[in-house]
């Protein structure tokens, strides 16, 4: 019976075990598929492409069909009133031939706007990838702290067992046992809080990717890195800040978007300036109607015309002048915005590069501190065992060691967050 129960428990555990381990690449893929803000960027680009297609229609012939059916009455002087059935159909066509850049400017403006929205779409994708990376490494950091706190619990358990033996042997007092008990419970509390931090950061990740993978039945892949020689495991960045900035000016989507907005503003100016000049087009109409016998001599059954037309607004109450001035301001504003974006990108690259260097140095320094804290703990344990040091000294050494390990874990994953920040800043 006991074997059957044990087998049932094992099978139940296997059935409810997590079978899905998500890597960073998988998380990024899911975010790009499910995230609402990425979808909105794609929809904005699709709408801009539709507006471009609509603008091209101005180059194509325009066809209109009109039909009337009913009764018609007429009364001529000294003639009796007449009544006739009415059935008329009219087909009209027009074709723009030339308008001094008004239409081409409007089309080019829409094309540039579409390209700008496309660049913004790619920028939103880049932003999302960085957000996923940051959330991913924050989870790894939290899981690393869980491991540190487990080590802390193990240390406190060892100390409690040691205090119990010393008390039994009459070497130490009961206060040491009480202190060890308190420290163990505090360590358990810190471990529990660290586990909750993992849950908080998982929830944040799910919000970023826009979905809960496998209804929460998943684990985040965590490489087994150990805690020794972490600084030797960090990826190297050898490019200078200048080269990184130049790369960003070429590859950062928001920079490319600002360039297209400038070109779009210039095309809009060209289109509005076209209002100063005439538009030349071709127009034609063809009408057919059923002619009643009472008016057969006065009404044609078929008629049409074909003409070359010229439309020229000679004076618009200075409206065109005002619109041209506004469009010129739009060009200057777009250029200023592009310069502002370029300066912001330069600052982001510089700050990301500084942050990466700082993170690397922090890993190296925390490695040294951790090594020193470990040696200090070993010395404190020996001093305590030989009654050369008190429990407070041992407690401080233990806490310094756990703090050093926590700082080492944090700085290690902070380096990868800083690396992701640099990649995002340069548009990689």
Query: Region 3-8: what's the mean pLDDT?
Result: 46
| pLDDT tens digits for range 308-341 | 888 888 888 888 899 899 999 999 999 999 999 9
High-pLDDT (> 90) share of the chain, %: 49
- The pLDDT score that the predictor gives to residue 134 is 96
Query: Region 391-415: what's the mean pLDDT?
Result: 90
Q: Measure the CA–CA gap between 428 and 415, rounded to whole angstroms.
A: 17
pLDDT band at 94 (very low <50, low <70, confident <90, very high): confident
**Beta strand spans in 11-61 (E):** 21-22
Mean pLDDT of the chain: 86
| pLDDT tens digits for range 213-253 | 999 899 999 888 777 777 888 888 888 999 999 999 999 99
- The pLDDT score that the predictor gives to residue 229 is 79
The topology under which CATH files domain 64-95+278-311 is Outer membrane efflux proteins (OEP) (2.20.200)
- Beta carbons of 260 and 116 less than 8 angstroms apart: yes
Helix axes 391-426, 241-251, angle to 10 degrees: 50
pLDDT at 293 over 70: no
Q: Measure the CA–CA gap between 24 and 162, rounded to whole angstroms.
A: 43
Domain ranges of the chain: 20-60+99-277+318-426, 64-95+278-311
| pLDDT tens digits for range 115-167 | 999 999 999 999 999 999 999 999 999 999 999 999 999 998 988 888 788 77
Q: Measure the CA–CA gap between 14 and 399, rounded to whole angstroms.
A: 38
Q: Measure the CA–CA gap between 338 and 354, rounded to whole angstroms.
A: 24
| pLDDT tens digits for range 335-385 | 999 999 999 999 999 999 999 999 999 999 999 999 999 999 889 888 877
Q: Measure the CA–CA gap between 354 and 212, rounded to whole angstroms.
A: 35
pLDDT at 178 over 70: yes
Measured at the CA of 109, the angle between CA 105 and CA 111, to 5 degrees, comes to 115
pTM of the model: 0.83
Could you write out the DSSP letters of every residue in 81-121?
A: -EEEEEEEEEEEEEEEEE-TTHHHHHHHHHHHHHHHHHHHH
pLDDT at 14 over 50: no
CATH superfamily to which 20-60+99-277+318-426 belongs: Outer membrane efflux proteins (OEP) (1.20.1600.10)
High-pLDDT (> 70) share of the chain, %: 89
Number of H helices, E strands in the chain: 9, 6
Which residue's structure tokens are 């009472």? 294
| pLDDT tens digits for range 254-281 | 999 999 999 999 999 998 888 888 888 8
- The pLDDT score that the predictor gives to residue 1 is 46
- The pLDDT score that the predictor gives to residue 297 is 52
Non-local CB neighbours of 3 within 8 Å, separated by 6+ positions? none
Nearest-CA neighbor of 222 among 133, 132, 137? 137
Query: Region 161-179: what's the mean pLDDT?
Result: 77
- The pLDDT score that the predictor gives to residue 232 is 83
Query: Region 402-423: what's the mean pLDDT?
Result: 94
- Beta carbons of 251 and 428 less than 8 angstroms apart: yes
pLDDT band at 8 (very low <50, low <70, confident <90, very high): very low
pLDDT band at 74 (very low <50, low <70, confident <90, very high): low
- The pLDDT score that the predictor gives to residue 233 is 81
Q: Which whole-number Å values give the CA distances from 368 to 155, 236, 251, 372, 394, in the listed order?
A: 21, 20, 38, 6, 20
């Amino acid at each position: 019976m006991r074997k059957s129960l044990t087998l049932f428990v094992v099978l139940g555990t296997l059935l409810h075990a997590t079978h899905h381990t998500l890597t960073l690449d998988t998380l990024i893929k899911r975010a790009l598929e499910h995230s609402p803000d990425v979808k909105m960027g794609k929809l904005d680009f699709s709408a801009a492409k539709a507006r471009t297609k609509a603008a091209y229609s101005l180059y194509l012939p325009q066809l209109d069909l009109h039909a009337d059916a009913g009764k018609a009455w007429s009364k001529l002087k000294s003639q009796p009133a007449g009544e006739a059935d009415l059935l008329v159909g009219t087909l009209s066509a027009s074709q723009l031939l030339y308008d001094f850049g008004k239409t081409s400017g409007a089309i080019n403006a829409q094309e540039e706007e579409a390209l700008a929205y496309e660049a913004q779409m790619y920028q939103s994708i880049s932003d999302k990838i960085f957000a996923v990376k940051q959330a991913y490494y924050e989870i790894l950091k939290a899981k690393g702290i869980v491991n540190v706190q487990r080590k802390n619990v193990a240390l406190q358990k060892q100390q409690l067992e040691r205090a119990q033996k010393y008390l039994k042997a009459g070497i130490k007092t009961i206060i040491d046992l009480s202190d060890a008990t308190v420290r163990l419970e505090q360590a358990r509390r810190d471990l529990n809080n660290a586990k909750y931090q993992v849950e908080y950061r998982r929830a944040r990740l799910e919000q970023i990717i826009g979905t809960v993978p496998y209804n929460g039945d998943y684990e985040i892949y965590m490489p087994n890195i150990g805690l020794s020689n972490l600084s030797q495991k960090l990826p190297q960045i050898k490019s200078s800040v200048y080269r990184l900035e130049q790369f960003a000016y070429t590859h950062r989507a928001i920079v490319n978007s600002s360039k297209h907005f400038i070109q779009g503003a210039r095309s809009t100016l060209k289109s509005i300036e076209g209002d100063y000049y005439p538009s030349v087009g071709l127009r034609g109409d063809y009408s057919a109607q059923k002619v009643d016998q009472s008016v057969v001599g006065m009404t044609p059954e078929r008629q049409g015309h074909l003409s070359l037309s010229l439309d020229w607004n000679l004076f618009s109450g200075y409206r065109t002048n005002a619109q041209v001035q506004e469009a010129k301001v739009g060009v200057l504003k777009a250029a200023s915005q592009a310069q502002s974006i370029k300066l912001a990108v330069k600052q982001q690259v510089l700050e990301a590069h500084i942050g990466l260097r700082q993170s690397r140095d922090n890993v190296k320094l925390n490695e040294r501190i951790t090594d020193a804290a470990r040696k200090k703990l070993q010395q404190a344990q020996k001093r305590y065992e030989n009654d050369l040091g008190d429990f407070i000294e041992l407690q401080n050494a233990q806490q310094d060691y756990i703090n050093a390990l926590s700082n080492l874990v944090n700085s290690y994953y902070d380096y990868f967050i800083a690396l992701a920040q640099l990649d995002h800043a340069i548009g990689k």
